[in-house]
Amino acid sequence: MDQSLLLMLSNLLHLHNYLDPTTSPLLSPSSSSSSASSSSAAPLLFFTLASVLSYLASHPPAPPKKRPPPSKPPSPPSSEFSVAAFRALSTEHIWTMEAPLRDAQWRSLYGLSYPVFTTVVEKLKPYITQSQLSLPSDYAVAMVLSRLAHALPLKTLAARYSLDPYLISKITNMVTRLLATKLYPEFIKIPVARRRILDTTQAFHELTNLPNICGAIDAAPVKLSRTPSPPTPPSSPSSSSSSASSSGADAGMIFISKHGYPSLLLQVVADHKKIFWDVCVKAPGGFDDATHFRDSLLYHRLITADVVWDTTIPVRGQAIRPYIVGDWCFPLLSFLLTPYTYNRSGNPVQNAFDDALMKGRKAAAEAIGLLKGRWKILQDLNVGLNHAPQTIVACCVLHNLCQVAREPEPPEIWKEPEESGQPARVLENEKSCHYYGESLRQCLADDLYQRLSSR
């Protein structure tokens, strides 16, 4: 038994005998009865308190044990796509890497090399800063480029960057709008400088053996991930509801291209380096190339002689101004030459000209293949219809940046289906321009065939 407990019980017994002597066996019964009245002087409560105090005095409480500080929950590992990880890579480690390895890594993530990426950021940063975006400018641009290059859906991108899908959509719309408006005039413009015209026409001449070609035009549908919904018609009596629904169906059908999927029509003019110098996205995919061309700003500037290339070359006594070439889906005009036939069913002179012209026209077709190969979002455009045109134009601006910087071609180049069909009809107001185009085409065809025959 604990020694301190024995001591407490002994003290309690002595104290009780002192205060209540009647309990002592040494006293006689008579003396015990005479002092019974004094037993109330030591109540049981007093003895209990005394014993407890005595025990506590001999057993001081042990000091409380120090609790270990609560452990902090382990912080989640930094994501490869977090701001911190991006900042560490782009500001600390990127310049310690060899240029080929650095640029290959950047292209795999964002579709272009690091120097071209920094060029885009520097040009967009003032506008992004004005928007008071909560993310760094270079991080926002990188996120948008990754979506354009890999066609990532909003939900996938939101999970990767740990951001709300609405915020990612807002940032994508802002960056593509800035590319399509602020950078478009700098990187996509009609060649008017004499030096550039001479370089372009000389390069096309080496390619086609035709003089004074300054560009190639082509159109291609950009597939939409879903058919745009027509506007909901207002409520009407049953007699007119069927016509309203059919009108809505027609509104949806105008987006269906001749290849059978919903799309928007992209029209480009490219030079020999496959650099676009004009881009137009104005029509649903159900429109034909000629209608889209006639609705473009380029057509109106050329038909009204607002754009004049004064670099002329005499051929068989006729002054040949610079012109663009396209396939049979475009109208034959003085500034736009097209083939005689689409299936080489003409005479030897016509077929020789058609072969040469289609070599030049291929520059635009290959440029579109590079465009869709680099920016895979254009293979199945998963943005809202209101933002689709600016997204397409933004990708064209980025394509030109890559071409100017001589970025390597993507491993997979998109191939459009082969064109077929009859030549575009000529409008009444185009007849004089069309007749001049016919004369120009025949002159060039005769000259080409003569040169080829004399070799």
Determine how many CB atoms are found less than 10 A away from the CB of residue 306: 11
Answer yes or no: is 6 within a domain.
no
Answer yes or no: is 323 within a domain.
yes
- Do 149 and 201 belong together in one domain? no
- Do 161 and 213 belong together in one domain? no
- Do 137 and 264 belong together in one domain? no
Choose one of 155, 182, 209: the last residue of a domain: 182
Q: Which of 84-88, 123-127, 286-290, 392-396 has the lowest mean pLDDT?
A: 84-88
Q: Which of 13-27, 185-199, 431-445 has the lowest mean pLDDT?
A: 13-27
- Do 319 and 446 belong together in one domain? yes
Answer yes or no: is 74 within a domain.
no
- Do 156 and 198 belong together in one domain? no
- Do 430 and 411 belong together in one domain? yes
Structure tokens at 410: 């993507």
More confident residue, 396 or 99: 396
Residue 83 is predicted with a pLDDT of: 76
Q: What is the average pLDDT across 58-62?
A: 57
Residue 24 is predicted with a pLDDT of: 45
Residue 96 is predicted with a pLDDT of: 73
Residue 391 is predicted with a pLDDT of: 97
Q: What is the average pLDDT across 189-193?
A: 90
- Do 173 and 294 belong together in one domain? no
Q: Has residue 441 got a pLDDT over 90?
A: yes
Q: Long-range contacts for 446-449 (Cβ within 8 Å, ≥24 apart)?
A: 446/316, 446/349, 447/315, 447/316, 448/209, 448/210, 448/352, 448/353, 448/356, 449/348, 449/349, 449/352, 449/353
Three-state DSSP at 282 gives strand
- Angstrom distance (rounded) from CA 92 to CA 124: 22
Write the DSSP string, 344-405. Answer: S-S-HHHHHHHHHHHHHHHHHHHHHHHHHHH-GGGGSB-S-GGGHHHHHHHHHHHHHHHHHT
- Angstrom distance (rounded) from CA 194 to CA 451: 27
Between vectors from CA 227 to CA 221 and to CA 228, what angle results, nearest 5°?
100
- Do 294 and 256 belong together in one domain? yes
Answer yes or no: is 401 within a domain.
yes
Q: Has residue 53 got a pLDDT over 90?
A: no
Q: How much is the mean pLDDT over the chain?
A: 82
With bands split at pLDDT 50, 70 and 90, how would you rate the model's confidence at 86?
Answer: confident
- Do 178 and 155 belong together in one domain? yes
pTM of the full predicted structure? 0.78
Q: Has residue 331 got a pLDDT over 80?
A: yes
Residue 266 is predicted with a pLDDT of: 97
Q: What is the average pLDDT across 243-254?
A: 54
Answer yes or no: is 302 within a domain.
yes
Q: What is the average pLDDT across 131-151?
A: 92
- Do 282 and 392 belong together in one domain? yes
- Do 97 and 199 belong together in one domain? no
- Do 110 and 212 belong together in one domain? no
For residue 367, give the nearest of 416, 295, 425 by alpha carbon.
Answer: 416
Choose one of 182, 212, 240: the last residue of a domain: 182
With bands split at pLDDT 50, 70 and 90, how would you rate the model's confidence at 240?
Answer: very low
- Angstrom distance (rounded) from CA 182 to CA 130: 14
Q: Domain count of the chain?
A: 2
Q: Please give the single-letter amino acid code of residue 352.
A: A
- CB of 395 closer than 8 Å to CB of 371: yes
Answer yes or no: is 23 within a domain.
no
Answer yes or no: is 56 within a domain.
no
Answer yes or no: is 7 within a domain.
no
Q: Has residue 452 got a pLDDT over 70?
A: yes
Containing domain of residue 127, as a range? 83-182
